[in-house]
Structure 1
């Protein structure tokens, strides 16, 4: 049996955001329908080199595939080595015989499926009339979040805040070329978020950036940045007046944005709702236009698996064009 080897460039030629959004929705449904087994995430904090390495894996019980992703984030990669700060490799293995079906660059899939996660949450939890989005952070994930959200909502205004005013302006300059909307950068984060219908946070902050009183009724927040113990982007008090939806209860309690509210007793674990449960109709998300909804995303390996499977599926019709490497 052949193992497919895929580069980032090959993946980029066949994978589009609409397919990724569909794959992420499917992942959430599979997870909440107990069609996948996800072991705990294995994480290494590499302080010496200002980085972290995470190993996420999952067993897709439907297609009988095991997927493993080794992903890393290094703050100084670009500066020191001229390479992306985020690196990842995904391996898909056939459980019937242990043969690797594919080994592929995982950075692009990770970025796109993370962007799609915020969009999926907004699709099911934000008010349908939402037109104004606040993007907190200016990195690569902040870019994919907007690209994905623009596929789901007819946006009008994009409010941007970053720690670096220069980077915020560069974000706007770059994104305007791809998504022509009305952009405004803010030095004051309160001004940025208080006007928004949807707020997407994408930073690696370890202290609250957004205060509870800044968030107006009816707002939807997608919290993407907090994916390890200690990270935090929201004041915990906000959870006390919001409806909370998570990608995984177990993961979010340990490493998600909600970890602090759980620890402080503001939220009980039994009150958390999984995104898949909302998509499947098992539980209700937003109940009124006045609800504040919070989606806590830590990232599930099944998202990588469903998206990687989509790549392989599309490749079946494009193998001649891409000259796929086989071993």
Structure 2
């Protein structure tokens, strides 16, 4: 008899954490994009401009993986004014063989947060200098915090500077991260102050105007840009992309809605110019950082293959731990055993 596993956010937080195994899971997903005939359709997005909201639907099938995820991810960026989180959502894991629903992951965006932070760690692991110790974080929300936590899993970070439009939030984040990560985290009043002397720069905001300027970039730095996941978002000044080794999570996506999209629109990069992808770097098909003084930039727009990977991991962990509630699918249709 077919059963569907239902897992809530508290269930998932107990069994899936932002750790080395989560980073490895996402690394493997990116490598699959480069080495397997992954089926990953374009992102479906609904914009609700009146409430500064958007809903993304992402999915991917990876040959050899028993299940595939369909994720519904709303982002309503005025929600904090109402005392609500900006992001929520859920994932559905279906059987690759039968299409039956195997798990309903009511994660409220938690798994997305984990897999996004893990992607940032993978980018830094393969593109930044191994001895990088100073980080700059743009933003003070959940993803800013998780990106830093993930970064500490792959690089010996000792000093961090955080800048956010809301100084109070930056101060709070700096204080709490100093305590939780046991490293020096300082809030700064201007974005260029955060960049000065940084080995790694991570942007985590929904900004629609560039917040990282080309004049602040120095040799040897690595930039992870993960906020530009729709056409109207733009964290990185387009001129930056002319100075760096550019790597995308998916070039097909970043041409449409990433930082690459804005550089093409500005006429700084030819629309048909080819670029490498993070999965190719992980699979060692192409080099990443070519020298100590090279400047690298990874444009992360979020891919369906990451969602399938983290959802599959969550289901495996749940089965091992006996977590969640198993429901006979006949219960949903009113059938009898």
Task: Encode CA deviations 1:35-79: one digit per residue, 9 max, x unaligned.
Answer: 321111111111122211111111222224332100011123344
Partner of 1:166: helix, strand, or coil? helix
Pairwise CA distance, 1:258: 1.3
Provide the residue aligned with 2:241 in structure 1. 239
Q: Aligned residue for 1:192?
A: 194
CA distance in 2, matches of 1:5, 1:19: 22
TM-score by length of 2: 0.93
Partner of 2:230: 228
Which secondary structure state, in structure 2, belongs to the residue aligned with residue 231 of structure 1? Answer: coil
Structure 2 unpaired stretches of 5+: 329-337
Long gaps (5+) in structure 1: none
In structure 2, distance between residues paired with 1:324 and 1:151? 32
Distance 1:117 1:96 in 2: 28
User: Normalising by the residue count of structure 1, what TM-score does the alignment of the two structures yield?
Assistant: 0.95
Q: Deviations over 1:82-119 (max 9, x none)?
A: 44221111001113222101110241110011111111
Task: Confirm or deny that 1:105 pairs with 2:113.
Answer: no
Q: Which has the higher strand share?
A: 1
The Cα of 1:124 is off from its aligned counterpart by 0.3
Given the alignment of the two structures, is residue 317 of structure 1 paired with residue 320 of structure 2, yes or no?
yes
Name 2:214's counterpart in structure 1: 212
Displacement after TM superposition at 1:153 (Å): 1.0
Secondary structure of residue in 2 paired with 1:234? coil
Residue 304 of structure 2: which of 301, 314, 325 is its match? 301
What is the aligned counterpart of 2:281 among 278, 284, 294? 278
Kept in 2, the 8 Å contact 1:134–1:196? The answer is: yes
Deviation at 1:323, TM superposition (A): 4.9
In the TM superposition, structure 1's runs of 4+ consecutive aligned residues that sit over 6 Å from their partners are none
Describe how 1:1-327 pairs up with structure 2 within 5 A.
1-17=2-18, 18-80=20-82, 82-106=83-107, 107-268=109-270, 269-319=272-322, 322-327=323-328
**DSSP-derived class of the 1:45 partner:** strand
Q: Distance in 2 between matches of 1:265 and 1:300?
A: 26
- Which deviates more, 69-78 or 39-48? 69-78
The aligned residue for residue 334 of structure 2 is none
Alpha-carbon distance in structure 2 between the residues aligned to 1:7 and 1:325: 12
Question: Using a 3 Å threshold, how does the CA distance of structure 1 residues 64 and 36 change in structure 2: closer, same or farther?
Answer: farther
Instruction: Indicate the RMSD between aligned Cα atoms, in angstroms.
Output: 1.4
Contact 2:52 2:78 in 1 (8 A): yes
